[in-house]
Amino acid sequence: MQPHQEIDRRIEAIAAGVNSLVTRLRAAGFVFHNPKDVFPGVEADVELHVSRIEREIGPVPYALAAFWRRIGSVDLTGSHPNWTGCEYPDALFVYPASAAAAELDDFLADREYRLAIGFPFKIPIAPDSFHKENVSGGMWYNVDCPATDDNPIVNDEGRDLPFLDYVEDALRMGGFPGVRGDHNWPDS
């Protein structure tokens, strides 16, 4: 199987997994912080955003672009009244392509300064585990752009996982990879 075909296969499995997980979470009484953003689908302007980033910066990682084109985004931040013992569950979250386009606008507005201080353009993937719980935290999870890898490492997340592995690991953990250890949260 060619590398892009393997990524496309994994994206299809992730789409099915997210859909199933969202259904199970809703049935279990999970309360999402942003119900409209849980699994909204593909943005109408995804191709415009991807082509603009590629024109201004360089290639968007294939896995992320495929995610945006097939799934769109996901935001599982929220809570359940009976699930305790984990302050920062690090809910599965992937920003839509429009968030990357907004970050591109910010980057282009002060490109020279950002490059001078060693802060190149990065595509935002998700808030860090603290910001997901409305607590001041650190840098948002991100991937490098221009892409040098089809499935790049998610920076600032702490585990050095490639993007698709980051998403798949979250799915294996019932959407909440931060619940590893002592907790009262279901794993799947």
Report pLDDT digits (tens) over 46-55: 999 999 999 9
Whether 173 and 187 have beta carbons less than 8 Å apart is answered as yes
pLDDT at site 86: 85
Mean pLDDT of 16-26: 97
Angstrom distance (rounded) from CA 79 to CA 29: 9
- Overall number of domains in the chain: 1
pLDDT at 186 over 90: no
What average pLDDT does the segment 5-22 reach?
A: 98
Is 130 among the domain residues? yes
Residue 185 lies in a domain: no
Q: Which residues contact 146 (CB under 8 A, 6 or more apart)?
A: 57, 58, 59
Residue 108 in any domain: the answer is yes
Question: 165 - beta bridge partners?
Answer: none
Q: How many CA atoms lie within 13 A of 150 on its CB side?
A: 11
Asked whether residue 100 is domain-assigned, the answer is yes
Average pLDDT for the chain: 94
- Nearest-angstrom CA–CA distance, 137 and 115: 23
Query: Is 81 inside a domain boundary?
Result: no
Residue 37 has pLDDT above 80, yes or no: yes
Q: Is 59 inside any structural domain? A: yes
Query: For residue 6, which phi and psi values (nearest 5 degrees)?
Result: -65, -40
Where in the sequence is the domain holding 142, given as residue range(s)?
A: 3-76+89-178
Band (pLDDT 50/70/90 cuts) for residue 3 is confident
Whole-prediction pTM value? 0.94
Question: Is residue 55 included in any domain, yes or no?
Answer: yes
What is the pLDDT, as a whole number, of residue 188? 47
Residues 6+ apart with CB under 8 A from 20: none
Q: Is 101 among the domain residues?
A: yes
Per residue in 75-88, pLDDT (tens digit) is: 999 999 888 878 89
Predicted pLDDT of residue 170: 97
92 backbone φψ class: left, alpha, beta (φ>0; ψ -120 to 50): beta
Instruction: Say whether pLDDT at 184 is over 80.
Output: no
Q: How confident is the model at residue 98 (pLDDT cuts 50, 70, 90)?
A: very high
